[in-house]
Every structure is written in structure tokens, then in C-alpha cells.
Chain A
Amino acid sequence: MPAALRDSLLAGLVAAALALPMLGVRLVDSATGLSLAGRFDLVAWAAGLVFGGRLLLRLIPPLPAMPVLPAGFGNLRPAAGWAMAAFAVLLPFLPFADRNVVDKATLVLIYIMLGWGLNIVVGLAGLLDLGFVAFYAVGAYSYALLSQSFGLSFWVCLPLAGVLSASFGLLLGFPVLRLRGDYIAIVTMGLGEIVRVILQNWQELTGGPNGISGIERPSLFGLSFKAVPPEGQRSFAEFFGLDYSGDHRVIFLYFLILILALATNLFTLRIRRLPVGRAWEALREDEIACRSLGINPTTVKLSAFGIGAMFAGFAGSFFATRQGFISPESFTFMESAVILAIVVLGGMGSQIGIVLAALLLVGLPEWFRELQQYRMLAFGGAMVLIMLWKPAGLLSHREPTIRLDGQP
């Protein structure tokens, strides 16, 4: 007990020392010029809170461990995946799903897709990429520019954006090849920022900070979602004999990103069981052992970078067509950090874990917008709690990609 008290006192003192310069003084703009004013009540609050919190932590028993999942849970996973997919398909038709819900679900799905794309690079190949948003940006700008300059439709631009992003991924992959671990993170972070700065400054091409607006919306096999379809096109509502509603496009976009995301997922599930996918995981585990087995790490790393970037490119062009407007502001480092947090929190390599993490990190803050700035506090708190409870991520269990007696 005295030990707990001493420990808490020490923590309180440290908090006071930290709070003094950060909270304790304030610049006051008065008639005579700037002067300092004390806010010692805040310092006292901070120190008191830390002291009390620390004491509480010491006195109450440690956090209970998360309930251990029953052993059979591994077999439930595909079922859980199917259930989630079914729910996602039905979502727009559920009674509570208004336009707002579907719109937010679309946003979450973008991040799920980005998470699944980055998972190839970080979760499988083990290359810590902090500049993933660059490929997302390349995809978005590819679509916007191709569509505006050459009048190409979304369906033509989507694969083109993927190809462009993938080539960009290969290009940016080269400088990273010789690096390991943390150094990869630093270099990719720099590359990501370079891309953003180029987009911001290349006025003639990208429109600079003003971005590109009026980006063409996608059509469904030539059926437009506009109230007044352009000449030579029919509108979706007219074709199916419905009354025009703006919701149609929202739901269409939702299904579009759902299909794109599920395609990403299927691809990853499949490639994990193929030589390339296994080589990615082997590279994450031990690069030197890989080389001793005749695996060329260069091609393995580049393929991971390229394929991850391709999916980011798809997601980027979807983002551009959904927003109708893009600017460099959408592609800041914060985006990379959120996508990486989704992958890490989900449990590095777990597909379902990424869905849960994306719901948590993107969905919750969106739904709790009313809480205003406190939602960021809750966001940080949630991350700390998850890392305390599940340091390896929400779902860190890994199923072998092949079993001796038959497929898993």
C-alpha cells in the first residue's frame, strides 16, 4: 500500500512537471503587449488526475485478460466471413439503412479495401510501408485526369488506374529494396509525402491545392445515375421504371466498392496459398533463409509492393468517382497512418481482423461525430486498450495455408 502511494505520488509529480510548461502558462495579448498568465489550476488538475488514476490502477486488480476464444473458433472463421459478406450485401435493404448509413458504410469499405491492399505489403510480406496513401493518390488522380483529358469512362479507367498505381509501386519499391524494417518505414513515408507535395505543386497537371472537381460519375452498363442523363444515355431509374432518387447512386457506389473490396479479399486469400504468397510470408519471417532456398528477394518484394499498390489504385479511382472532387488534402500522411493502424490493429495478416479494425477506427469516429473533438480522444483510448489486451492485434491467429492431409 505505501508502495502504491509512493508510486502514484511520483507519477503525479511527473505529470505536474510535464503539465507546467504545457498547460501552466498562457500568452495573454494585452494592451501593453504580450504577457504571461498562469493557469495553475489546470496543472493541479492534471497532477491530481494522474495521481488518482495511477492509485486506482495500482489498487484494482489488473485488467482481466480477454476471454480466450474456444479452440474451435478457427473453424468458425470462414463462417464468420460469409456471415459478414451476407450482411454487407443486405445492408442497403435493411429498414434502418438510410442514405447516411450506406454512405458511411461505403467509407468504411474503402478503408477495408485499403487495409486489405496494405495487408499484402505489411501483413504478408512484412515490409512496413508508411506511404501507402501515395498509391491511393495515384489511383485517384489517374482516374480524374484520364477521365477529364480523354473522356474515358470509369470502367476503362479503373484497370488503367490499377496498372498505373502498380507501376508506381514497382518504381517506389526499388529504393526500398536494400532496406530493412524501420528504414523502409522512413523511406516510404518520405516517398508518400513527395507524391503529395508534387500533386500540390504541379499546378498545370493536377490543379495544385485546388484539386480536380467535376469528376465523372460511373454508370451501370451505360445507365446513368443522373437526374437528367447525358445525351445518348438512359438513366437507371428510367430503365427499371423507378422514380428518380439520389439514393440509387449511393447504393450503387456502395455495391461497387463492396465488389472491389471482396475481389481484393478473394485475391489475397487465393494468393496466400500460391508460391508467391508463401514467399511473401517467408520473406517476412526470414529473408536470409529465403535467399538460401533460392528465392530472389528482389522480385518477391517488388511483387508485394506492386500488387498492394494496384489495389490502392483501384480504391483511389473509386474514391475519386465517389467524391467527384479530389485534392492533395485527401492524401496526407494521416491517411497512411490510419490504414497502417487498421492492419496492425486487425492482427497483421488477418483478413477479418482488418474488417473489425476498420469498423472500429473509421466507422466509430464517423458515427460518433456528435462527440466532436472528444471522438479523437476516444479513438486514441480505444487503440491503447486494444494494444493492452491484444498486443498482436484483434485476430492474430494464423491458419496454415496447406495441411498435410488435404486443404485447410
Chain B
Amino acid sequence: MTPSLLDVEHLTMRFGGLFAVNDLSFTAGNGEITAVIGPNGAGKTTLFNCITGFYKPQEGRIALNHPDGRMALERLDDHAIARRAGVARTFQNIRLFPRMSVLENLIVAQHTRLMRASMFSLAGLLGLRRYRRAEAAAVERARHWLDRTALTRFADDEAGSLPYGHQRRLEIARAMCTEPRLLCLDEPAAGLNPRESAELNRLLLDIRADEGIGLLLIEHDMSVVMGISDRVVVLDYGKKIAEGTPAEVRGDPAVIRAYLGEPDEAETG
């Protein structure tokens, strides 16, 4: 087994009396695609928001094994999680910078590196070579991800003017430009047609193979989940009801019950 990248232990997130995530534990491996599935309202997006720091859980621990040491994500601010722990994410309802160009979206993603290279923009203000070199490198990285997501010819267009499927890919490219260790994708296949969905599968498999990072994925599209994930975690009402390989989870009676409902006792009995 590959060493774990993300350890979630006894995570609980309550909103008032509602347990959105209830005593949840699982691990996600390095170089693996871990899918989180479950019916609507099962707490998948809440889990994502806890991992990426947008929510602070009441109980439990979220640890990321980073070369710089183990990081307790529940204690970091959202932007620090992205910057220091290297956790990037996409959103269920795409969040691009719509009035900025596609390329600018990818350059903004490299903000941290560029800020350091430009000494908080001072070097850039003075036009030092050091900053120009860093910016050229950032453009090259952006070009790399534009090529991988087949968006190169849209590079100078406004991000908001792209078709929906392109925007989804751009959001993934933007997240990858931060050079993450863990990429969290919230329903990346939502709204995609079957062909785009198949392209997405290939892109995610390529990312796993080439970058060796961990991918955490919320998905409803079973062709994506079953086709590419190494492990599947199934949530229902905030609790984990099953975990395992796609094949194991598919046959699990608890999962079938959660998705299809309880068999009607009166009718069967």
C-alpha cells in the first residue's frame, strides 16, 4: 500500500443540531484517486470544505503528510492550506475569475511563487530581470496546462466567455498550476456530455500518473467513479457506510440500500 497522504480521523461537523459529517475517518493515498460518493445531502461537499479549510470542524483531525512534516489542516486558514500544505480544489459551481483572461487565471494561481520571486512585487515594479524570469516560467507552466487541457487557443479570451465544459477544465488547470500535493475535485463531471466526461477521465488519470499526487473526488457520475478511482468512500447522512475498491463498493448491500432505499417490508414479506 502506498503511504497515506491525507488522514481524516473522527471528523465531525455540525450545523446547529444537524450532523453534516459525523465521526468520519478515512485515508487517501499518494498517487491514488479516492472518490467520495453518496446521495445528495450526504455531507460530501461539507467534507471538502473541512479539508480545504473553508469550514472549521468541531471535532476530529485532518492531517496531511507533507515533505515538510505532518500538517494539521483543521488548524490552518483556508489560504494557508492551499499555500503551505499544497491542497488545491475546484468548486461544484465553477469559480473562475470570469472577467480575466484564461491565461491570467492560470497566472493568478501561481501568485505565491510570483510574489516571492518579485519580492512582494517590488522587483517587478523596478522591472528587475529576476521577476521577468519568474513570470516567463509561470507563463510556461500555464502553457503546459493549457496544452494538457486543450485550452491553448482560448488563452487570451475572457474566462467567463468559455463554454461550460471548457470552464470545468480550466478550473482543473488552474488548480494544477498551484502545484498541489492533493487535488480536491468537487463534481468535475457535472454537466459534461459523455465525450467530455471521457476526456476528463483521461485527464485525471494522466494527472495521477504524471504528477504522482493524490486526487480526492466527489462525483455523481458513476462512469467516472467506477472507471478511474482506486478507492471509494461512501457517505450517507454524514457517516461512512462503505469503503473499498469500486468493485467491492458496488456490491455492498449498505450502498445499494442508501442509493435505492430500503426494500418495502410489507411487499416482500
**Restricting to B84-131, which residues have a CB under 8 Å from any CB of A?**
84, 88-89, 91, 95-101, 103-104, 107-109, 111-112, 114-115, 118, 120-121, 124-125, 131
Flag B192-205 by CB within 8 Å of A: 1 or 0 each. Answer: 00000000000000
Find the A residue at minimum CB distance from B134. A275
A285 contact from B83, B89, B97, Cβ within 8 A: B97
Flag A207-225 by CB within 8 Å of B: 1 or 0 each. Answer: 0000000000000000000
Contacts of A279 in B (CB 8 A): 108, 111
Bound CA–CA A398/B161 (angstroms):
14
Bound CA–CA A270/B174 (angstroms):
24
Bound CA–CA A267/B77 (angstroms):
32
> Are the CB atoms of B178 and A294 closer together than 8 Å?
yes
> Are the CB atoms of A286 and B89 closer together than 8 Å?
no
> Are the CB atoms of B121 and A275 closer together than 8 Å?
yes
B104 contact from A270, A288, A294, A400, Cβ within 8 A: A400
A275 contact from B88, B114, B174, Cβ within 8 A: B114
Q: Is A274 interfacial (CB 8 A cutoff)?
A: yes
**Restricting to B155-214, which residues have a CB under 8 Å from any CB of A?**
155-156, 174-175, 178
Q: Is B78 interfacial (CB 8 A cutoff)?
A: yes
Bound CA–CA A292/B77 (angstroms):
10
Q: How far is the CB of A67 from chain B (nearest CB, A)?
A: 23
Contacts of B118 in A (CB 8 A): 274-275
**Known contacts A278-B107, A294-B79, A295-B79; is-contact A400 B121 (Cβ 8 Å):** no
Chain B interface residue count, CB cutoff 8 Å, equals 45
Bound CA–CA A293/B125 (angstroms):
23
Query: Could you tell me the dominant secondary structure of chain B's interface residues?
Result: helix
> Are the CB atoms of A271 and B111 closer together than 8 Å?
no
B91 contact from A277, A289, A295, A404, Cβ within 8 A: A289
> Are the CB atoms of A286 and B111 closer together than 8 Å?
no
> Are the CB atoms of A295 and B111 closer together than 8 Å?
yes
Q: Which of under 10, 10 to 19, 20 to 34, or 35 or more describes the interface residues of A?
A: 20 to 34
Contacts of A285 in B (CB 8 A): 96-100
Q: How far is the CB of A71 from chain B (nearest CB, A)?
A: 14
**Restricting to B30-77, which residues have a CB under 8 Å from any CB of A?**
52, 54, 77
> Are the CB atoms of A294 and B121 closer together than 8 Å?
no
Flag A256-291 by CB within 8 Å of B: 1 or 0 each. Answer: 000000000001001101111111011001101111
Bound CA–CA A281/B210 (angstroms):
32
> Are the CB atoms of B156 and A403 closer together than 8 Å?
yes
> Are the CB atoms of A293 and B96 closer together than 8 Å?
no
**Known contacts A274-B118, A275-B115, A279-B108; is-contact A293 B100 (Cβ 8 Å):** no
> Are the CB atoms of A294 and B91 closer together than 8 Å?
no
> Are the CB atoms of A286 and B104 closer together than 8 Å?
no
Contacts of A296 in B (CB 8 A): 77, 79-80, 83
Query: Could you tell me the dominant secondary structure of chain A's interface residues?
Result: helix
Bound CA–CA A116/B95 (angstroms):
29
Contacts of A270 in B (CB 8 A): 124-125
Q: How far is the CB of B128 from chain A (nearest CB, A)?
A: 11
Bound CA–CA A378/B224 (angstroms):
62
**Known contacts A402-B103, A404-B103; is-contact A292 B88 (Cβ 8 Å):** yes
Contacts of B175 in A (CB 8 A): 292-293
Q: Is A401 interfacial (CB 8 A cutoff)?
A: yes
B101 contact from A290, A292, A293, A400, Cβ within 8 A: A400
> Are the CB atoms of B155 and A276 closer together than 8 Å?
no
**Known contacts A285-B98, A400-B101, A403-B156; is-contact A292 B108 (Cβ 8 Å):** no
A293 contact from B104, B109, B142, B143, Cβ within 8 A: B109
Q: Is B254 interfacial (CB 8 A cutoff)?
A: no
Find the A residue at minimum CB distance from B143. A404
Find the A residue at minimum CB distance from B95. A289
Q: Is A297 interfacial (CB 8 A cutoff)?
A: yes
Bound CA–CA A295/B115 (angstroms):
10
Contacts of A398 in B (CB 8 A): 99
Q: Is B152 interfacial (CB 8 A cutoff)?
A: yes
> Are the CB atoms of A278 and B104 closer together than 8 Å?
yes
> Are the CB atoms of B125 and A274 closer together than 8 Å?
yes
B111 contact from A267, A278, A402, A403, Cβ within 8 A: A278
**Known contacts A400-B156, A402-B139; is-contact A281 B97 (Cβ 8 Å):** yes
Q: Is B82 interfacial (CB 8 A cutoff)?
A: yes
Bound CA–CA A273/B101 (angstroms):
13
> Are the CB atoms of A297 and B104 closer together than 8 Å?
no
**Restricting to B124-156, which residues have a CB under 8 Å from any CB of A?**
124-125, 131, 135, 139, 142-143, 146, 152, 155-156
Q: List 30 A-B contacts (CB under 8 A).
A: A274-B124, A274-B125, A275-B124, A276-B115, A276-B120, A276-B121, A281-B99, A282-B97, A282-B108, A282-B111, A285-B96, A286-B96, A286-B97, A288-B54, A288-B91, A289-B95, A291-B54, A292-B82, A292-B89, A293-B111, A293-B178, A294-B82, A294-B111, A296-B79, A398-B99, A400-B156, A402-B103, A402-B139, A404-B103, A404-B142
Q: 10 closest A-B pairs (Cβ-Cβ)? A: A294-B83, A294-B82, A285-B97, A400-B101, A404-B155, A274-B124, A289-B95, A275-B114, A276-B121, A274-B121
Q: Can you name 13 extra interface pairs (CB under 8 A) apart from A281-B99, A294-B83?
A: A274-B118, A285-B100, A288-B95, A289-B91, A289-B95, A289-B96, A291-B79, A292-B175, A293-B82, A293-B88, A294-B178, A295-B108, A400-B103
